[in-house]
């Protein structure tokens, strides 16, 4: 399993829950407390994809969440709104070519490694 790439997709607004921590909602400290260390060595190639986040929240994840090896890819809520337009009514899921192309181009985009 160490050599197999792993991709985790989370559908979320991306905003950490502040009700139990006592830290102000939306603050940098909340993002810094997110612990991705259990994912770091699951595989040589681990990608975390966050769907439906705002551009600001996506930037906060990329900037403040501590990580060493986990690649991060965010898909903005505005982009995700377009998936339903690609579905063709009455066509089998496996034959939804427009939808699958959109998914590959917008959500399943290859994430390149960056120094974190």
The yes-or-no verdict on residue 115 having pLDDT over 80 is no
| 70 has pLDDT over 90 | yes
Region 63-91 average pLDDT? 86
Handedness of CA 66, 61, 15, 43 (dihedral sign): negative
Q: Residue 31: pLDDT above 80? A: yes
Euclidean distance between the first and the last CA atom of the chain, given in angstroms as a whole number? 24
What gap in Å lies between CA 60 and CA 66, rounded to an integer? Answer: 11
């Amino acid at each position: 399993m160490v050599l197999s790439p792993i991709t985790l997709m989370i559908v979320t607004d991306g905003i950490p829950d502040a009700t139990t921590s006592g830290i102000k909602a939306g603050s940098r400290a909340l993002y810094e407390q997110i612990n991705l260390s259990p994912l770091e060595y699951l595989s040589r190639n681990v990608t975390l994809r966050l769907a439906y986040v705002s551009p600001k929240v996506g930037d906060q994840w990329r900037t403040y969440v501590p990580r060493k090896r986990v690649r991060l890819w965010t898909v903005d809520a505005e982009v995700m709104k377009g998936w339903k337009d690609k579905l063709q009514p009455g066509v089998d899921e496996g034959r939804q070519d427009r939808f699958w192309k959109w998914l590959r181009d917008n959500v399943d985009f290859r994430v390149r490694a960056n120094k974190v």
